[in-house]
């Protein structure tokens, strides 16, 4: 049975200091493992899985294969653990399916938001699957790193990561990377997909799985700025996007009329002229005729979430084909939120005009949990500690981290109920 002193108090919020709680933790972890054991073909595989998850939940400084194997099983288990990640014959999909069902029962039964975002993992070498010099948001600069696209759900019952995919830059599919592609054991059938493409696939799968009561689809400005991404979402009735955008995004406050002005000489105009020009959302933020309102967006764990916001109905601005002309698109909500430090976040939503603005207020609070997932998984559960280079090794490490994270969500809820019982 797992040594209770090996649980990380940060990950589990210090709710197990006495003997009774330590025993409860042991029992709950053993029960939790039982959900996943049918995914593995042999008893050694099952033991390696349980050992690694225990390692992720522990206070070990480094939570990669070798430190975990050495600490919990001994030197002779290092090689089997390495093979478990790289070549052991078990499928990630059955394990992911079970994980998503458990996550759905834990947090997915109350209306909420499916949110997509990417996060980077800095690497020193050039031989890990998908590694490239690319922008790393955490560092705020271009760095040699891998980038993963993740999907999370957040609602009234909590939050957690739902699905994920490794971004493979386009050059990895060229001749120059053919040998590396093979060495990293990337499936031959893989084809290039942009981060937007991966995000659309993850979102559409989750929305139509029926596992999560998603009323909203959320994304940051890297995705929200692209109309192609938002248009690619196949959303059922009653599910709308609430997408961050940047300050330069243009909208039409009113629907413009199109006309062909008369010309005194020469040929008549080929393209219509708009009666009004679009404006940037930053201009609307600065427009005093649309006032800021102080509101309580929601009740948080540490008290009410206060903010200033302004909102309006407007029309999106679309390019007219390949030309430089623009035209009005669908009617949308524009929602602006000002933080205490003066920073302003801009959002657009295709929710219907009759929707109460309080629903938009709630949606504005549901984007942060995916960032909280990244913070918890990286700070407490070794999300970035992996040292395997293969495509499959990366996928398995991320899935195991998500599995460990769900246990922390589960145990926090148990101790929360126990505390207030």
How far is the C-alpha of 338 from the C-alpha of 363, rounded, in Å? 15
What share of the chain in percent tops pLDDT 70? 90
So what's the pLDDT on residue 338?
93
So what's the pLDDT on residue 303?
78
The answer to whether 338 touches 308, Cβ cutoff 8 Å, is yes
What are 370-386's pLDDT values in tens digits?
999 999 999 999 999 99
How far is the C-alpha of 154 from the C-alpha of 216, rounded, in Å? 10
So what's the pLDDT on residue 151?
98
With cut-offs at 50, 70 and 90, classify the pLDDT of residue 4.
very low
Residues 6+ apart with CB under 8 A from 270: none
According to DSSP H, which parts of 301-390 are helical? Answer: 357-365, 368-380
How far is the C-alpha of 411 from the C-alpha of 421, rounded, in Å? 15
- Looking at the 3D structure of the chain, how many domains does it have? 1
Report if residue 329 sits inside a domain. yes
Token pair of 400 as six digits: 């195991």
CA 237 distance to own-chain centroid: 23
How far is the C-alpha of 398 from the C-alpha of 165, rounded, in Å? 9
How far is the C-alpha of 214 from the C-alpha of 366, rounded, in Å? 11
Higher pLDDT, 258 or 127: 127
So what's the pLDDT on residue 419?
62
So what's the pLDDT on residue 318?
86
Token pair of 225 as six digits: 């700025």
Report if residue 187 sits inside a domain. no
Average pLDDT over residues 111-128: 94
- Residue 18 predicted with pLDDT over 70: no
Report if residue 232 sits inside a domain. no
CA 143 distance to own-chain centroid: 21
Report if residue 180 sits inside a domain. no
Paired strand residues for 166: 148
Report if residue 266 sits inside a domain. yes
The lowest-confidence range among 168-177, 323-332, 356-365, 390-399 is: 323-332
How far is the C-alpha of 206 from the C-alpha of 229, rounded, in Å? 16
Average pLDDT over residues 399-410: 96
State how far the alpha carbon of 13 is from the alpha carbons of 4, 303, 409, in Å. 14, 18, 10
Closest by CA to 360, choosing from 212, 241, 232, is: 241
* Straight-line distance from the first to the last Cα atom of the chain, in angstroms, rounded to the nearest whole number: 28
Residue 328's φ and ψ, nearest 5 degrees, are -75, 140
Report if residue 376 sits inside a domain. no
> What is the domain range of residue 316?
245-359
User: Angle at CA 198, nearest 5°, toward 232 and 96?
Assistant: 120
So what's the pLDDT on residue 323?
61
So what's the pLDDT on residue 2?
46
So what's the pLDDT on residue 91?
85
How far is the C-alpha of 326 from the C-alpha of 320, rounded, in Å? 5
- Residue 49 predicted with pLDDT over 90: yes
What are 167-187's pLDDT values in tens digits?
999 999 999 999 999 999 999
Report if residue 279 sits inside a domain. yes
Report if residue 51 sits inside a domain. no
């Amino acid at each position: 049975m797992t040594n209770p002193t090996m649980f990380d108090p940060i990950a589990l919020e210090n709710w197990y200091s006495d003997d009774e709680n330590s025993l409860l933790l042991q029992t709950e972890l053993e029960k939790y493992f039982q959900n996943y054991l049918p995914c593995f073909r042999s008893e050694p595989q099952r033991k390696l899985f349980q050992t690694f998850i225990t390692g992720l939940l522990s206070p070990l400084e480094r939570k990669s294969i070798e430190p975990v194997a050495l600490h919990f099983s001994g030197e002779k288990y290092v090689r089997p653990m390495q093979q478990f990640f790289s070549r052991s014959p078990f499928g990630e999909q059955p394990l992911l399916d079970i994980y998503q069902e458990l996550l759905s029962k834990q947090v997915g039964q109350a209306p909420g938001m499916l949110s997509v975002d990417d996060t980077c993992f800095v690497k020193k070498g050039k031989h890990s699957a998908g590694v490239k010099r690319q922008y790393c948001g955490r560092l705020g600069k271009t760095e040699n790193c891998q980038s993963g696209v993740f999907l999370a759900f957040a609602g009234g019952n909590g939050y957690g990561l739902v699905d994920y995919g490794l971004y493979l830059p386009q050059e990895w599919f060229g001749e120059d990377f053919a040998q590396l592609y093979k060495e990293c054991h990337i499936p031959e059938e893989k084809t290039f997909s942009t981060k937007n493409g991966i995000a659309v696939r993850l979102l559409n799968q989750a929305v139509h799985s029926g596992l999560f009561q998603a009323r909203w689809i959320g994304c940051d400005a890297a995705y929200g700025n692209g109309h192609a991404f938002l248009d690619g979402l196949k959303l059922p009735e009653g599910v709308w996007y609430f997408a961050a955008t940047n300050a330069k995004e243009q909208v039409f406050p009113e629907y413009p009329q199109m006309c062909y002005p008369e010309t005194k000489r020469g040929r008549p105009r080929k393209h219509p002229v708009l009666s009004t020009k679009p404006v940037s959302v930053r201009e609307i933020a600065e427009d005093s005729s649309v006032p800021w309102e102080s509101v309580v967006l929601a009740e948080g764990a540490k008290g009410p979430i206060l903010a200033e916001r302004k909102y309006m109905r407007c029309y999106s601005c679309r390019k007219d084909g390949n030309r430089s002309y623009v035209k009005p698109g669908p009617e949308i909500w524009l929602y602006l939120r000002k933080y205490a430090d003066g920073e302003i976040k801009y959002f657009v939503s295709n929710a219907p005009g009759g929707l109460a603005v309080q629903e938009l207020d709630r949606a504005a609070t549901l984007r942060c949990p995916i960032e909280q997932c990244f913070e918890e998984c990286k700070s407490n559960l070794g999300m970035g500690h992996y040292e395997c280079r293969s495509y499959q090794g990366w996928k398995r490490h991320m899935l195991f981290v998500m599995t460990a994270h769900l246990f922390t969500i589960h145990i926090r809820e148990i101790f929360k109920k126990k505390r207030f019982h």
